[in-house]
Copies of this chain bind each other. A is one copy, B any other.
């Protein structure tokens, strides 16, 4: 992990005491999560994840993230639920950082997802979209089309260091995509980062969703497009239509896509691939060679983007088009 804040035993005991969760039995720092420091804390009353928010998370976004998790959990989505302290607060301070305690979620993420996992993910995504509809707070998608342009401008002159020609690839894609980016699609709360490592399973049963720190308001179908990129490509970058069909089928079991959403799915999928290409290329250029967390290879998303550029209709993702 990139950042790691130490918490002393007595500080922790005082912190946990605010929540009335009994005695701390054990506390282990977790070697996951690049953005924040996470501890798995056992108390006499159960297991919890303690998160200390490091610099990359904006403090003013925390009430949205924590409020959303609580809202979704109340609506029946299995996700970490923030614990409120004796004063009703979800957000406190520990070791000089904003800190929150959430319930521990059983399960493991699946390294080699099969179509049945994709179907479960599709269904869970749709349920999340429906459950988020009456959440009061909103958060703009900082990594939507406007954000892409801004982010690209910060490394445009160095993009060819990632791979020769990447500057032109990205510029051409932005030029093509921005004018045709859809308007007025069904929108609401989206997860925006529902990759395999954020979905827990016990056996083949989906047991929960985690990491809501990219959640925001945007098109529901864009969230699906992110999942198509995240779940349906094989290691050799081939697109597995059996998986995407399963994912879309799972989604439509809970929420049927509108014709307007179906039609633009290839455009949204290009946008989603571009979004991860941009952030990964940026991280690639801005992570020191010796950092522990190796940045993901951005070019995986150039490959995905090229695939989506060849797609002519949503039926190529396995979506059965309504006559």
Using CB atoms and an 8 Å cutoff, list the residues of chain A in contact with chain B: 1, 4, 8-10, 12, 23-32, 40, 42, 104-112, 200-203, 288, 290-292
B contact residues around A105 at 8 Å (CB): 26
Can you list 26 A-B pairs, Cβ within 8 angstroms, ordered by A? A1-B31, A1-B292, A4-B31, A4-B292, A9-B109, A9-B110, A9-B201, A10-B112, A12-B108, A23-B202, A23-B203, A24-B108, A25-B107, A25-B202, A26-B104, A26-B105, A26-B106, A26-B107, A28-B28, A28-B40, A29-B31, A29-B32, A30-B30, A30-B31, A31-B31, A288-B290
Q: Chain B residues with Cβ under 8 A from A109's Cβ?
A: 9
Say yes or no: A32 contacts B25, CB within 8 Å. Answer: no
List of B residues within 8 angstroms of A28 by Cβ: 28, 30-32, 40
Query: Chain B residues near A30 (CB, 8 Å)?
Result: 28-31
Partner of A42, one of B106, B288, B291: B106
- Tell me the smallest distance from the CB of A35 to a CB of chain B, in Å: 14
Residues of B within 8 A of A203 (CB): 23
Taken together as a complex, chains A and B put the C-alpha atoms of A8 and B235 apart, in Å, by: 15
Chain B residue numbers with a CB within 8 Å of A9 are 108-111, 201
A288's nearest neighbour on chain B, judged by CB, is B290
Question: Given the known A-B contacts A28-B32, A30-B30, are A111 and B1 also in contact in the complex, defined by CB atoms under 8 Å?
Answer: no
Q: Are A111 and B8 in contact (CB under 8 A)?
A: yes
